[in-house]
Amino acid sequence: MTGVRDDFLATARTAVTLLRDPALAGRWTAPSALPGFTVAGLAGHLAYQVIGVSEALSGPVPREPVVPLLEHYARVGWIGAAVDDEVNVRIRRGGEETAAEGPAALADRTASAVAGLTVLLAAAPDRPVRLPFWGPWSLTLDDLLVTRTMELAVHADDLAAGLGIATPALPPGAVETVVGLLSRLAVRRHGATAVLRALSRAERAPATIAAF
């Protein structure tokens, strides 16, 4: 199994632990740390980063062309979209639907997906995969797992912040993967000089180098 697969699975298990935290049920219908998301919807969105991979691998190999990782982010509609744009409304709706059976069922479903993927990813080739809401393109499996690891890391922090609990620690390999991807996206958005200054020169650092 490749490092990215191990890191994805380890991060997914961390997400399951977060989904089982007692604080989640207590704030299930409350607003989350993300505008427009309830805690339940954000928990469902977090869980889908695992469940969606399982569903994608259960289907046929897609025919859509495979694009490089950064090209994927050049195509997605949610980057730069307003909170109430249709793409973000659809994402929030999907999170609510995934979480519809409640926190315990959501955690169990996610844990089951992790268990299945632990077996599946040990032998799966680096085949094309895609999620159903993308446009007409695919990613390699390992690139998909990089995107899902990033989503798990970012949204685990969002969910923990809304619950008022500590953000779960990520495996070291996952930190490298996620920070590496976000750094590349930040360079594309802000330029290399801005990112270099933000990381090395507080006196000349820009206001933000946010990747999205």
**Paired residues of 38 in beta bridges:** 31
CATH of domain 3-168: 1.20.120.450
Residues 198 and 206: beta-carbon distance below 8 Å? yes
Alpha-carbon span 120 to 101, nearest angstrom? 26
Classify each residue of 48-74 as buried b or exposed e, where b means 16 or more C-beta atoms within 10 Å of its C-beta.
Answer: bbbbbbbebbeeeebeeebbebeebbe
Per-residue model confidence as pLDDT tens for the chain (212 residues): 579 999 999 999 999 999 999 999 999 999 999 999 999 999 999 999 999 999 999 989 999 999 999 999 999 989 888 999 999 999 999 999 999 999 999 999 999 999 999 999 999 999 999 998 889 999 999 999 999 999 999 999 999 999 999 999 999 999 999 999 999 999 999 999 999 999 999 999 999 999 99
Q: What is the residue whose two structure tokens read 């946010």?
A: 210
Distances (CA, A) of 147 to 166, 199, 201: 23, 23, 29
pTM: 0.95
Give the count of beta carbons closer than 10 Å to the beta carbon of residue 32.
23
